[in-house]
A and B are shown apart, each in its own frame.
Chain A
Amino acid sequence: MRISDLFSETFHSLTSNKVRSGLTILGIVVGIASVIAMLAIGNGSQAQIESSIQSAGSNLLTVMPSSGGQGGGGFRMAASNVKSLTRDDAKALAEIELISGAAPEAQGNGQLVADGTNANAQLIGVTPEYAAVKGLTVRSGGFVSQRDDTAYAQVIVLGSTLADDLYGEGVDPTGRRIRSGNMLLTVIGVLSEKGTSGFTNVDSSALIPLSTHQRYVGGDEYLSTITLTVADESEMSTAETLVSSALLERHGIADPDYADFRIQNMADLLATVTSVTGTLTALLAAIAGISLLVGGIGIMNMMLTTVTERTREIGLRKAIGADDNVISLQFLVESVVLTLIGGGIGIVAGWGIGVAGGNLMGIAAIMSLDSILLAVGVCAFIGVVFGFYPARRAAAMSPIEALRYQ
């Protein structure tokens, strides 16, 4: 039988029972679409998390206070209640060779009252280094200067979202006054939009000089975080070790298990998060794969029904001289064509579902060539595997029995 005849016969037999062919295709469509959608959303969220971590800077080491005695068990204080890091620590760490910048910061919350509107925002006490380390730029005005810090200046830099909330979009609030607690702060600048970076959303925060923060908000000399930039990203681990030993020495702690701080390595975090989201994506795809399997069994079911229903036709075809192998091939091609049509529609539908679902979740779905190839491969495989048994059954029929079949 010629190839063109084979496909013409396949087309004819699939279109002579449109409803059944359609339902079988639907089974495959659902399977493939869910796999594709899951992979697209999974890959999208993974990429998003990665870029969010990377935008925070993957060359960052974050030093945070932490209670000691991690190795020994027993009572451990919540990290936020531990006070161990000071501005002097930050200065000392900045001296380490591999460290290119050190930004001490103190965090707290404050009610900001501005010209009749008010907002509760995170107030971060920063030094001028903060802008460079965190990669911040100003939309208008300037940033906290060394002089502001030295002079306990009552100035404030607003995050972009916070500025819009307080003054409305398109308004430059530079020079306006904001009251917060005992402070009367002058707005000196507004930050450009940055997006979530790491664990802080700087867009909805407000920055004031660290000295001012420590005097009016925190009330003590301690820091909540020191963020360090490492000059060479490939030497993150070495830098981490150096920072750790320098701090232990400064704090007079001999046993690293009792350190009163911990260091977060962004590169490690990125690797961990990537592997976790990768696993989740694989898990989702595996669950979707089960529906693909069900679709495949649907194909086999339909092909078996078809073989039984077309017994007399098979008998006739054999009587007029169709070879067993040709009969087998005809049924196999039918099932492969069904799965490939289903797969094609499934890829498009899955893409649509992925994009729509991603939009709902605020994730940009990513459709990779790999997942399309995977889907097509799986379809062809299912078509052959689940079509093979019915095809063999059709081929193995005796023409005499088949012709006699009622």
Chain B
Amino acid sequence: MEYIIANFIQINLSTALQVILLGFIGGVLSGFIGSGGAFFMTPGMMNLGVNGVVAVASNITHKFGKAMVGSHKHGKAGNVDKKLAAYILGTAIIGIQIAVAINSFLFKGASGHGVAKGAGSNLYISLVFAIILSFVAVSMLKDVLGSSKSGSTDSGPSRKIVDAMAKIKLPPVIYFKVADITVSLWVLMPIGIATGYLAGTIGVGGFIGVPAMIYVLGVPTAVAAGTELYLAMFMGAYGALSYAFQGFVDIRLTMLMYLGSLIGIYLGVYGVKVVNERYIRMVTSLIILLCVISRAIAIPMYLRQLGLIDIDPAYDVYFNMTSKFFLFFSGISGCLLILINVIRAYMQRRGIQKTLRVVKSTAE
């Protein structure tokens, strides 16, 4: 990969279009799933040759601005619990700091140049990515399939964990008005730290934050998504500042991602309004699983670059290509599924104009 300066790659028209496409797909998925989109964009950029830490830094910076716009919109709809966000944020900063320190250490502490220099950080990010998101996807899929077996057509998320957590009443127990939940601070803290750590490590905070708020705290889905965006704005600002201070933010990637993502988000959010909840969770979990496979395929390549396993470097191309294929397959197919529903709903909405009126001949 050709570098224009330090850690920043040369961007030609093809690369730019691919980043815009990544942004668009990430935006659609993010608007639809309600959390991040970074799970697609970060590895996508890594597949384009961007160093893992630069991809994360540029993405977290992109997320900061995006969350600012999104949370403003959610705020108007009454979906933001600022008090809950403030409590999670307090602990999330610790998580971000841990993540930035580990990433910087792995990148700057590594020997070698160019690709090899970033291999440690790439491996670490890929491993965290694969482990955490496998867990999220499998749990989500299990939940969806479980509700299918029970024959329920519109059942909400599982409440097992919420029920268990509700029993913990260790003071201070706090009431959050907008989310309408009462929860112990000791339940909130680990969620905040985990959200911050993942946001700082793989640029994916919402994937833990939103499900945790829904499945652990019992926050309504819309409020969880709105609060997460509000939270992401501050975490993104903090993460962006930290990474920018280290010199890892590629502003061009951030700006190119915006070109696709902000349009994509609107379409994804529109999709949420018109598709039933179980379908949303099913599509989401399948997309994440495919992304995990994509990242897992790239792991042997990073292990070789670190000298931990012995594989012919010529195979890197195949690893990269297969990884890229799975990533783009998951993103594009998921995005297409969502867009088909959006278009269908758009046409249907234009057609909805129907009031059936029946007046009885004899009033009783």
Do these two chains really belong together in a complex?
A: no
Which residues of A are at the interface with B, using a C-beta cutoff of 8 A? none
Which residues of B are at the interface with A, using a C-beta cutoff of 8 A? none
